[in-house]
Amino acid sequence: MAPVLRSLQRLFKVLRVPKAYYALAASVLSAAFLVSSGCFSKDPGKASDVRVVRVVDGDTIDVDSGATVRYIGIDTPETRRRTSSGWIPTGDIDGEEAKKANEELVLGKKARLEYDAQKKDKYGRTLAYVFIRDGDREIFVQRELLRRGLAFLYTLPPNVRYVDVFLAAQQEARKDRAGIWENLVEVPAAEAHRFEGQRKCVTGKVDKARRTDAVVTLDMDGLAVVVFSKDFGFFTNEGIRPEKDYRGRRIRVFGLIKSYRGSPEIIVSHPWQIEVLE
């Protein structure tokens, strides 16, 4: 696959195609190659077979080995949140739809769990890619949820084996305005503080941009857009220097709006979350 991509890049240079399209082509070709080959696993030895006994939400399941499994590479809208009084329902319709779809895909079925560089998260959950047999084919559960527009790409190095596959599936969902992409609300950056705890598309002009060894911060009408060093490589691979290429530009950022030291911020882990408008 790598020689094909290198040849494609050389062709793009001859045709003077912008570098921004290189990564998109690589993502689509990589996903197509894996799907057509019918084998996603790069290391079949790092896998195990289990049965799904409970679906916690759109991206978390319990299996018969006693483990709680958190899906690698995606995040789904929440069905509940922790408060001082315990867990309470969020009332998020998209979260319930993601959980329902996950149940239909995996509940009571045998699953193949494939692992990446890290096998556990900080909560002690098993991190895995999840595959379900459906007749003669194997369904990659994370990819399917993304394709239906019921999950977001969530990169967390070093567990990024299938990031190109996931990105292509999400791009398909966005193009088709499937699921959560159908009625996504866009808000100006100056009003981002009103939507804390929600995922939104936020637009505004990047007034300031600064970089340290640990982080890039873009200041946009009172909203901080943050890229941590662990994710710099995703931008470098696409020829993007966030602290320079976004400064002074009007952009659209997608992500979860959080509060940090009393001000709103969105943490960006991959270039797909930022679109330059002008």
The residues that are catalytic are: 70, 78, 125
Residue pointed to by tokens 């019921």: 150
Would you call the peptide bond into 18 cis, given omega within 30 degrees of 0 as the criterion?
no
Residue 108: which region, alpha, beta or left (left: phi > 0; alpha: psi -120 to 50)? Answer: left
Handedness of CA 230, 234, 236, 241 (dihedral sign): negative
Measured in degrees and rounded to the nearest 5, phi and psi for residue 230 equal -60, -20
Please write down the HEC assignment for all residues of 66-122: CCEEEECCEECCCCEEEECCEEEECCCHHHHHHHHHHHHHHCCCEEEEECCCCCECC
